Amino acid sequence: MKKILCATRGGEASHRTQDAVLAMAKEQGASVLFLYVVDVEFLKLTARAVRPDVVATELEHMGEFLLAMACERASAQGVEAEPYILHGPMAEALVSAAVEKEVDAIAFGRPAGPESAFSLPDLERLSARIEETTGIKTYIV
């Protein structure tokens, strides 16, 4: 069974991406691997006492919750899905997940307004770089 990797979060934009990937998976008879990346880089914004390990654990719990929501969504649409959590920068985590889980395709959500983490040109560059690194076909959905 083919497997599609999709990095996701929990906002409205993520729901649109999840729906598009689930539709693609259904069409191809594939399963979906939902990836949540724990990245505590933003803690550098504060010069205060913070424990990155404790924050990372909390983000991981939140990621599990968001991925469980995504998997419920997949189940409701009749698509098999599994959650996966990695720590570190997004690009490295995507490559690592794609290789470790031997996925057949990687899907990115098309930027939809200010809530998106990337602009479209940035996303296209990232998509091309990952495709080049892993040799796995990438899609912007």
- Residue 54 beta carbon to another protein: minimum distance, rounded to whole angstroms: 5
- Residue 14 beta carbon to another protein: minimum distance, rounded to whole angstroms: 4
Task: Return the DSSP state at 10.
Answer: S
Where in 63-102 is the site for another protein (CB under 8 A)? 64-66, 68-69, 72
Nearer to another protein, 1 or 48 (CB): 48
Q: Is 114 in the site for another protein (CB under 8 A)?
A: yes
Are the C-beta atoms of residues 28 and 2 closer than 8 Å to each other?
yes
Q: What is the DSSP string of 71-113?
A: HHHHHHTT--EEEEEEES-HHHHHHHHHHHTT-SEEEEPPP-S
- Closest by alpha carbon to 73, among 8, 9, 18, 20? 18
**Chain contacts with another protein (rule: CB under 8 A):** 8-14, 38-39, 42-51, 54-55, 58-59, 61-62, 64-66, 68-69, 72, 114-115, 117
